[in-house]
């Protein structure tokens, strides 16, 4: 069983994101997945397609000894897809043609060619580029695209995972090929969130109550969010915690019950939501 807190850094790569040409949905999705597994995303950065910038962020994440460092984007066949070169440089390793990755790329190219989705099915230099991985890396099958994901275990105290930037491909690898590793990494970690919706329009009046909760239950995270619905102004109280499966529900319920009592005493109307309306 894994009792150590799993900390995560996400490095999202792409000029198109910083230029505002494409919206970064990958980071939001990854944060939700990691949190749901019981991990803690500690840092998110967005960088250009420049080796120096990517190397700098990877080395910074390694220096902070995050359990998991995830990169998103820059695995494709074009000259500006530089992520794996940057990972190799950050680790002082060489890029090498990975035979398993090459087979993965060749198989996907053939499938796409047979389906008449691409006009030519040979392994060109650009396509083979996607199979050059840092030494010691493991390729992760991509069923939605051509570029494999990459897993590099036990780099000091960290593991590095590189995923494609195309959302469907990133989600496919994370949800399929990467799952055995994630199950091993997160082990018995557990995350639970409960949400109360208040018919109340003064968020500041809740501050003393939330301060008391943070002092009595420091391991439970309580966050208020102002929300405007068609029915009028509302405040959402999110109560969440990551930790051991046998402990988390007890602590979250204790806070929820305390808040329920306090809100009732203050004659604040509220209800518990089944799901976060943001999602």
- The tens digit of pLDDT for each residue in 191-243 reads 999 999 999 888 899 999 999 999 999 999 999 998 765 556 789 999 999 88
- Whether 200 and 134 share a structural domain: no
Residue spans of alpha helices (H) in 25-115: 26-37, 51-63, 83-90, 99-114
**Read out DSSP for 124-193?**
-HHHHHTTEEETT-EEE--SSSSSPEEEEEEETTEEEEEE-SSHHHHHHHHHTTTHHHHHHHHTTEEEEE
pLDDT for residue 250 is more than 70: yes
Mean pLDDT of 144-162: 94
Range of weakest confidence among 73-82, 88-97, 120-129, 154-163: 154-163
pLDDT of res. 117: 94
Asked if 92 and 127 sit in the same domain, the reply is: yes
Q: Which residue has the tokens 């036990």?
A: 154
What's the pLDDT score for residue 277? 41
**Considering the entire predicted model, what is its pTM?**
0.83
Q: Select from 140, 156, 186 the last residue of a domain.
A: 186
Domains of the chain: total: 2
Backbone angles phi, psi at 131, to 5 degrees: -105, 5
Confidence of residue 154 (pLDDT cuts 50, 70, 90): confident
Looking at the structure, tell me whether residues 106 and 228 fall in a common domain: no
pLDDT tens, residue by residue, 58-75: 999 999 999 999 999 999
- Identify the band that residue 174 occupies on the pLDDT scale cut at 50, 70 and 90: very high
Mean pLDDT score of the chain: 92
pLDDT at 188: 72
Query: Cα-Cα-Cα-Cα dihedral of 103, 107, 108, 114, to 10°?
Result: 160
Is pLDDT at 258 greater than 60 in this prediction? yes
Q: Are 153 and 213 within one domain?
A: no
Q: Of the given ranges (104-108, 197-201, 214-218, 275-279), which has the lowest mean pLDDT?
A: 275-279
Chosen domain end from 186, 216, 234: 186
Of 39-53, 72-86, 176-190, 221-235, the poorest mean pLDDT is in 221-235
Confidence of residue 2 (pLDDT cuts 50, 70, 90): very low
The answer for residues whose C-beta is within 8 angstroms of residue 265's C-beta and 6 or more apart is: none
pLDDT in tens, 185-202: 988 778 999 999 999 888
- In this predicted structure, what is the pLDDT of residue 86? 98
Is residue 103 within 8 Å of 128, Cβ to Cβ?
Answer: no
| Predicted local confidence at residue 230, as pLDDT | 54
Same domain, 94 and 200: no
Q: How far, CA to CA in Å, does 31 sit from each of 11, 20, 38, 47, 167?
A: 12, 20, 11, 17, 14
Q: Which CATH number is 181's domain given?
A: 3.40.980.10
Domain with 130 in it: 7-186
Q: Specify the pLDDT at position 27.
A: 98
- From 129, 154, 186, the end of a domain falls on 186
Those residues whose C-beta lies under 8 Å from the C-beta of residue 177, and which sit 6 or more positions away, are 140, 141, 142, 149
Considering the domain architecture, whether residues 22 and 50 belong to the same structural domain is answered as yes
């Amino acid at each position: 069983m894994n009792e150590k807190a799993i900390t995560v850094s996400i490095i999202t790569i792409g000029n198109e994101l910083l230029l505002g040409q494409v919206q970064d949905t990958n980071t939001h999705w990854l944060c939700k997945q990691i949190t749901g597994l019981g991990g803690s995303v500690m840092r998110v950065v967005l960088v250009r397609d420049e080796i120096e910038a990517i190397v700098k962020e990877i080395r910074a994440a390694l220096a902070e000894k995050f359990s998991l460092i995830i990169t998103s984007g820059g695995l494709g066949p074009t000259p500006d897809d530089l992520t794996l070169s940057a990972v190799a440089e950050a680790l002082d390793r060489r890029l090498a043609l990975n035979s398993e990755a090459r087979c993965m790329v060749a198989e996907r190219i053939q499938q796409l060619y047979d389906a008449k989705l691409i006009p030519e099915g040979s392994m060109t230099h650009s396509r083979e580029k996607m199979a050059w991985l840092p030494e010691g890396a493991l390729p992760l099958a991509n069923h939605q695209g051509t570029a494999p994901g990459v897993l590099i275990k036990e780099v000091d105290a960290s593991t590095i995972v590189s995923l494609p930037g195309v959302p469907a491909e990133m989600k496919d690898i994370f949800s399929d090929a990467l799952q055995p590793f994630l199950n091993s990494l997160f082990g018995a970690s557990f995350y639970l969130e409960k949400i109360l919706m208040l018919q109340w329009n003064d968020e500041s009046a809740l501050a003393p109550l939330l301060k008391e909760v943070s002092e009595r239950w420091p391991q439970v995270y309580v966050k208020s969010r102002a929300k405007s619905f068609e029915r009028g102004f509302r405040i959402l109280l999110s109560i969440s915690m990551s930790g051991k499966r046998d402990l988390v529900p007890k602590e979250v319920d204790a806070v929820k019950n305390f808040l329920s009592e306090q809100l009732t005493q203050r004659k604040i109307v509220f209800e518990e939501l089944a799901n976060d309306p943001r999602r």
